[in-house]
Structure 1
Amino acid sequence: MDTILQLLANGLMLGGLFAIVAVGLTLIFGIVKVVNFAHGEFLMVGMYLTFLVTRMLGLHPFVAVIVVVPALFLIGALTQRLIIQPLMSARDDHIQIFATVGLSTALINLALLVFGADIANTPASGLRTPIEIGPVRVLSGQIAIFVASIALVIGLQLFLQNTAMGRAIRAVAQNRSAAQLMGINVDRIYILTFGIGAACVGVAAVLIAPLYPTSPTIGTYFVLTAFVVVVLGGLGSIPGAFVGSLVIGLIDSFAGFYIGSDMREVAVFGVFLLILILRPAGLFGKQLNLSHVSP
């Protein structure tokens, strides 16, 4: 029983980690309808910024959030304004995807040029301290990530449901042409949404950097799972992304223990494919999609 509880805890902690990366990605897709293949590289940039702020100023890694989140918001907003927006009227939507792939490659090579291929380790500052809760042991940093993922999901839902800007974002997601007729500046909404999505991954970067070594390719590992989570939960659904993350985290944890660490990804993608066969729209489908506007 102790083993089961530990595996459950590990799975939930891992799910929280995936969720905090996937939330920004699903927000961007749900509103802008663009698959951002540079999302993982945004995470990498945020982790390097956290490393630099922590090393240069000697501050706790979490304090870096006051620098990293605004910086990632700006990067996301500029990406939408300068790269994605000029391509929004293109006949082939794949051009936008290719643009984000190109941005991803450029950011990886820029990081290699500036930092080299060496791993950068952000000081843990006590975030690797194990905490025992009965028979379960988790790291303090893992708990922080899990709590932050819940807060981020709830905060975004409240923002989208209860603010004028949030309602404007949901209106654009539902029908761009109708939103324009109602006087909503759609281009501005897209820029804002892309910036918020990137800012979310900035929060993830600050929380993840003390627990994982930073390298130019670190984003690839996280974003691959984030794409699975987004599709599994239901494209554009923030609650779906969170639930999907927990499902993937639990599968990864139990498969790694009972099947073997080298078979974890096989189990994850196997269950992922099975769920999509049974429910192609994802776990939450359209019912909780961001494009749904409450009356």
Structure 2
Amino acid sequence: MALIQAILDGLMIGGVYAVISIGLTLVFGVMGIVNFAQAEFLMLGMFVAYYAWAWLGLDPLLAAPLAFVVVFILGAAMQRLLIRRVLKAPDVAQIFLTVGLLIVLENAALLMFGSGFRSVSTPYQTASLKIGQLFISVPYLLAFVMSVASGLALWLFMRASWFGKAMRATAQDPMAARLMGIDADRMHMLAFGLGVGLTAFGGAVILPYLTASPTVGGQFVVLMFTVVVLGGLGSVAGAVAGGLAVGIIQSVSALAFPIQLQNLVLFVVFIGVLAFRPEGLLGGSK
């Protein structure tokens, strides 16, 4: 029963890992750039949700769409002004720019919000559901449901809408997309905005059980890269599979090892997967 409980907890956490990592893999899949500042947009999403709760009385889950919109606009502007200029530059220039963006965003947040930790209070914060001998944390369950809903919305957008199809065409062959009348630069801007906006959405839905701080991105950046590399960098389906796998591995490993070794087990599995399947679990799938 403990194993089943651990797997269930891992699925709840893994669903959130998936949605905050989808944005990272989406940006790489469409633009071919690795955004090292991705986790800072999660931090921004948490602060948007926090202030929506503090000033407007909005529940963080209801504020999650607002966090998405605010960070989408910010991300689209950053892509237009900064990221676009290094798309054809050497990889080292892209790395320096996104790492620099990470430092700027974190320090700007420290100046604006201070170094303290901020948390919200919700009626369901400590609630749980009992199903037989299993317990499900309500905040984790709600975050999981919201994450799944946003992932499904992205999937429908990419498969059914003209913009989604245009983004996939741009990811496959930007030159051919341009010849077909698609504005590849606009698709890049849309992809970056969507990517960071989804990560901000994930930051908002986890606020009921985590605290917001300017340095919170450091807690997630390694996990996000682990998720997308495990699943296959550039694969949206792979990010979902990788997020669920990471959540389950973390939760199950806590049964046999101290909590301090939780990520050690994860990285051993991570190295093992890459040794036998360097492209990731679902590498190549969009």
TM-score using structure 1 length? 0.93
Distance 1:149 1:97 in 2: 28
Q: Tell me what 2:175 maps to.
A: 177
Q: Tell me what 2:106 maps to.
A: 108
Q: Tell me what 1:210 maps to.
A: 208
Are the aligned partners of 1:176 and 1:186 in contact in 2 as well (CA < 8 Å)? yes
Distance 1:203 1:128 in 2: 22
Matches within 5 A, 1:1-295: 2-90=1-89, 92-286=90-284, 288=285, 290=286
Are the aligned partners of 2:22 and 2:198 in contact in 1 as well (CA < 8 Å)? yes
Shift of 1:65: 2.7
In structure 2, stretches of 5+ residues that fail to align are none
Change (3 A) 1:34 1:51: same
Taking every aligned residue pair, what percent have the same amino acid on both sides? 39
Shift of 1:8: 1.1
Distance 1:38 1:223 in 2: 8
Distance 2:97 2:36 in 1: 9
Shift of 1:125: 3.5
Point out the more displaced range, 186-195 or 116-125: 116-125
Distance 2:62 2:156 in 1: 25
TM-score using structure 2 length? 0.96
Alignment-mate amino acid for residue 43 of structure 2: M
Cα-Cα RMSD: 1.3
Distance 1:188 1:151 in 2: 26
Are the aligned partners of 1:124 and 1:211 in contact in 2 as well (CA < 8 Å)? no
Are the aligned partners of 1:42 and 1:72 in contact in 2 as well (CA < 8 Å)? yes
Shift of 1:78: 1.1
Alignment-mate amino acid for residue 151 of structure 1: A
Shift of 1:66: 4.2
Are the aligned partners of 1:61 and 1:125 in contact in 2 as well (CA < 8 Å)? no
Aligned residues: 286
Distance 2:200 2:44 in 1: 8
Which consecutive segments of 4 or more residues in structure 1 shift more than 4 A?
none
Change (3 A) 1:154 1:67: closer
Alignment-mate amino acid for residue 119 of structure 2: N
